[in-house]
């Protein structure tokens, strides 16, 4: 494991820092824009200066940077107060899938607009009957120029997206993984209805998406008919790499700081032995995650691809966020119930993380699925039982049959 920048990496880091210091949007520039407008303004500024999606090829709007340069960029950008991004799915999952499977012509048409922030993309994979077991999805596409009928769910950002990638069942008579085909689609197509789902946090970031006789051209198919699972794996591999263990929000430092500011039995909470023991556990976990991150960075720096051990970050990091936020709310006693950012401690950060962290443990693969990946692909344990293996999809018993 190598913890230090090479000379070349250090020079690059300095260049990034200098550009960021001079170009972060000012409050005046952002005034009057909603969060999508703010995100688009920041993305366009990076694009115009050659700092958008730096790992992508130059002809697609990137700068042909290495994976380690991307990590350095991310680290430096996270040190600044930048507008929240609405491009995570488009940049992290849809674009890599397009670049791997679409034609040159299509990439030339669609990818630069993703890099510049002009277009936002979403991922239409999950369905009521196909989440962890994605290959069990039921939304159908029939015909030659295809007609789609069915329902997707939990689609983040569908309500403001211009395009989406989606997996559909095109042949129910073969085993489930073989009957899928992958497309990209214009989210304004006739017959698409987007219904926001209200979350516990009060926001509505994800949606139900209904398809009623929606037409998608065969030219928007990625991969061969029946090859959708292989194309979806490209998206999923990139999803696991881009969803981390919840780096933002509550961390050891913020809970430690809180414990120095609030009292238990008239003494600072930090003096309490149970609080100290709990903080020590999280310090150990956070250090483990940091070094696991360094392991991935070292692999990237050497031009290698980090393996399924990346799932450790999500499996440990997401529950840790939830536990720490819950602990902080207990320390705040009745103040924990106040989550108006104007009135609550740390501008409502503990409350916001408490509400958002259950979703982190589900999105991009649940805790149990992460544990299965680590068990099977890191530890080499026997595979999970798959009762529908090899059975034609339309002969798999359902709760209705």
Ligand X SMILES: Cc1cc2nc3c(=O)[nH]c(=O)nc-3n(C[C@H](O)[C@H](O)[C@H](O)COP(=O)(O)OP(=O)(O)OC[C@H]3O[C@@H](n4cnc5c(N)ncnc54)[C@H](O)[C@@H]3O)c2cc1C
Q: Is 51 an interacting residue with respect to ligand X (CB under 6 A)?
A: no
Using the 8-state DSSP alphabet, how is residue 199 labeled?
-
Residue 329 CB, shortest distance to ligand X, in Å, is 20
Q: For the packed helices 273-301 and 311-331, what is the interaxial angle rounded to 10 degrees?
A: 150
Buried b (16+ CB within 10 A) or exposed e, 214-234: bebeeebbbbebebbbebbeb
Q: Is 202 helix (H, G, I), strand (E, B) or coil?
A: coil
Q: Is 156 an interacting residue with respect to ligand X (CB under 6 A)?
A: yes
Residue 54 CB, shortest distance to ligand X, in Å, is 24
Spatial contact of 246 and 360, defined as CB atoms under 8 Å apart = yes
Q: Is 237 helix (H, G, I), strand (E, B) or coil?
A: helix
Q: Which one of 73, 121, 206, 229 is in contact with ligand X (CB under 6 A)?
A: 206
Q: Is 163 an interacting residue with respect to ligand X (CB under 6 A)?
A: no
Q: Residue 24 or 355: which CB sits closer to ligand X?
A: 355
Q: Residue 156 or 263: which CB sits closer to ligand X?
A: 156
Residue 104 CB, shortest distance to ligand X, in Å, is 27
What residues between 120 and 149 interact with ligand X by CB under 6 A? 122-126, 131-132
Using the 8-state DSSP alphabet, how is residue 170 labeled?
S
CA distance 337 to 334: 6
Beta strands 206-216 and 180-186 are unpaired
Q: Residue 62 or 223: which CB sits closer to ligand X?
A: 223
Q: Is 230 an interacting residue with respect to ligand X (CB under 6 A)?
A: no
Residue 366 CB, shortest distance to ligand X, in Å, is 3
Dig out the tokens for 207 from the structure.
């949606």
Residue 152 CB, shortest distance to ligand X, in Å, is 7
Q: Is 161 an interacting residue with respect to ligand X (CB under 6 A)?
A: no
Q: Which residues contact 369 (CB under 8 A, 6 or more apart)?
A: 132
CA distance 18 to 13: 9
Q: Residue 218 or 368: which CB sits closer to ligand X?
A: 368
Would you say how long the chain is, in residues? 401
Q: Which one of 87, 121, 154, 184 is in contact with ligand X (CB under 6 A)?
A: 154
Q: Is 43 an interacting residue with respect to ligand X (CB under 6 A)?
A: no
Encoded one letter per residue, x for contact with ligand X by CB under 6 A and - for no contact, window 63-102 reads --------------------------x-------------
Spatial contact of 151 and 370, defined as CB atoms under 8 Å apart = no
Q: Residue 54 or 122: which CB sits closer to ligand X?
A: 122
Q: Is 18 an interacting residue with respect to ligand X (CB under 6 A)?
A: no
What residues between 351 and 370 interact with ligand X by CB under 6 A? 359, 362-363, 366, 368-369
Residue 112 CB, shortest distance to ligand X, in Å, is 23
Q: Which residue has the tokens 């059975």?
A: 391
Q: Residue 155 or 301: which CB sits closer to ligand X?
A: 155
CA distance 161 to 264: 48
Q: From residue 323, give the alpha-carbon distance in Å to each of 237, 346, 350, 375.
A: 27, 17, 11, 24
CA 250 to chain centre: 18
Q: Which of 239, 304, 368, 395 is catalytic?
A: 239
Residue 9 annotated as catalytic: no
Q: Residue 77 or 388: which CB sits closer to ligand X?
A: 388
Residues labelled as active-site residues: 239
> Where do contacts with ligand X occur on this chain (CB under 6 A)?
89, 122-126, 131-132, 154-156, 206, 359, 362-363, 366, 368-369, 372, 384
């Amino acid at each position: 494991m190598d913890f230090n920048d090479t000379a070349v990496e250090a020079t690059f880091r300095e260049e990034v820092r200098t550009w960021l210091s001079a170009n972060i949007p000012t409050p005046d520039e952002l005034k009057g824009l909603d969060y999508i407008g703010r995100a688009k303004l920041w993305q366009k500024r990076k694009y115009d200066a050659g700092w958008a999606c730096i790992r992508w090829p130059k002809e697609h709007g990137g700068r042909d940077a290495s994976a380690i340069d991307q990590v350095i960029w991310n680290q430096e950008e996270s040190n600044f107060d930048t507008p929240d991004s609405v491009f995570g799915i488009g940049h992290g999952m849809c674009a890599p899938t397009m670049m791997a499977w679409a034609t040159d012509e299509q990439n030339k048409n669609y990818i630069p607009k993703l890099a510049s922030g002009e277009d936002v993309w979403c991922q239409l994979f999950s369905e009521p009957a196909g989440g962890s077991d994605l290959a069990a999805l039921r939304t159908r596409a029939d015909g030659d120029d295809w007609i789609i009928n069915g329902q997707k769910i939990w689609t983040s950002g569908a309500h403001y997206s211009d395009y989406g990638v989606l997996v559909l069942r095109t042949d129910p008579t073969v085993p489930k993984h073989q009957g899928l085909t992958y497309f990209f689609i214009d989210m304004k197509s006739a017959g698409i209805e987007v219904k926001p789902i209200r979350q516990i946090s009060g926001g509505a970031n994800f949606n139900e998406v209904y398809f009623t006789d929606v037409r998608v051209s065969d030219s928007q198919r990625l991969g061969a008919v029946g090859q959708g699972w292989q194309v979806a794996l490209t998206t999923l591999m990139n999803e696991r790499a881009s969803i981390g263990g919840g780096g933002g929000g509550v961390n050891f430092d913020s809970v430690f700081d809180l414990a120095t500011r609030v009292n238990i039995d008239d003494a600072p909470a930090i003096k309490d032995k149970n609080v100290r023991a709990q903080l020590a556990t999280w310090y150990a976990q956070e250090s483990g995650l940091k070094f696991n991150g360094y392991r991935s960075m070292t692999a990237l720096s050497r031009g290698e691809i980090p393996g399924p051990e990346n799932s450790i970050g999500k499996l440990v990091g997401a529950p840790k966020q939830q536990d720490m936020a819950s602990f902080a709310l207990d320390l705040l006693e009745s103040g924990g119930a106040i989550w108006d950012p104007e009135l609550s401690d740390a501008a409502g950060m503990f409350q916001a993380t408490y509400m958002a962290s259950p979703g982190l443990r589900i999105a991009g693969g649940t805790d149990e699925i992460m544990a299965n990946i680590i068990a099977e692909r890191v530890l080499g344990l026997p595979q999970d039982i798959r009762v529908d293996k090899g059975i034609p999809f339309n002969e798999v018993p359902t709760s209705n049959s």
